[in-house]
Amino acid sequence: MALKLSLSSDYDTAKEAAKGTVLSDGIVIYPTDTLYGLGCNALSEKAVAKVYGAKKREKAKPLSIIVADYKMLLDYCEVSSAQERILHSLLPGPYTFILKLRKKLPASNQLSIGVRVPEHMFMRLVAAELSLPIVSTSANLSGEKEAAQASEVDPLVAREADLFVDGGKCQYAKGSTVIDLIQMKVVRLGAVRQGDRFEF
């Protein structure tokens, strides 16, 4: 059974617990600006395999990652000047950007990956303090209902996690908008911050 901590009362404890869980190849359920996520050390084959198992997700489908900031994004992804302009105008935000990888990661069997820098700071701080990208996939069984608050996370998924961080209701309460910056197009319209425009 996952250890459950609340950001409203145990923020620092939750952050340290999340860091420890990630470093020990465990799974964390955590809040973002869009939905609750299921994550782990994106550089660990063992941890990534656990996330696939917990979601019952096909291995052929890549997972996304959260990075702390634009600087960390550049460590893992190739970015052109045109892509950089778009990233700078929209990050951090409720968006997942598909970019070319500099090197293969366990979270993707392809040469590209979805990358997030969410507005919600919690997992960005974990990523920053560990200097690691964190797997970011919705905390639900593959194809089932996503969770915008802790009570909506499927008990079958929660049972597989080592740590469950309750951050209340997610700000946007819907999935991120997915923008393919390789093809320069929106591939899934989800959460959009007021005033943001997609110009390719």
Mean pLDDT (the chain) is 96
CATH number of 3-188, picked from 3.40.50.620, 3.40.50.720, 3.90.870.10, 3.40.50.2020: 3.90.870.10
pLDDT tens-digit map of 116-127: 999 999 999 999
**E strand residue ranges, the chain:** 3-6, 28-30, 37-39, 64-66, 77-78, 95-101, 112-116, 134-138, 163-166, 177-180, 185-188
Residue 10: what pLDDT? 92
Residue 11: what pLDDT? 96
Residue 2: what pLDDT? 86
Instruction: Break the chain into its structural domains and give their ranges.
Output: 3-188
pLDDT tens-digit map of 142-185: 989 999 999 999 999 999 999 999 999 999 999 999 999 999 99
Residue 59: what pLDDT? 87
Query: 199 pLDDT band (50/70/90 cuts)?
Result: confident
- For residue 109, the tally of other CB atoms under 10 A from its CB is 12
Overall average pLDDT of the 1-13 stretch: 92
**Backbone torsion region of residue 56, taken as left when φ is above 0, otherwise alpha when ψ lies between -120 and 50, otherwise beta:** left
Residue 200: what pLDDT? 86
Give how far Cα 129 sits from Cα of 18, 67, 72, 83, 199, Å. Answer: 11, 11, 12, 26, 33
Under 8 Å between Cβ of 135 and 48: yes
Take residue 16 and report the two structure tokens written for it.
Answer: 């340290």
Under 8 Å between Cβ of 41 and 24: no
Which residues, 6 or more positions from 46, have their beta carbon under 8 angstroms from its beta carbon? 25
DSSP assignment of 141-153 equals: STTS---SSGGGS
Query: 60 pLDDT band (50/70/90 cuts)?
Result: confident
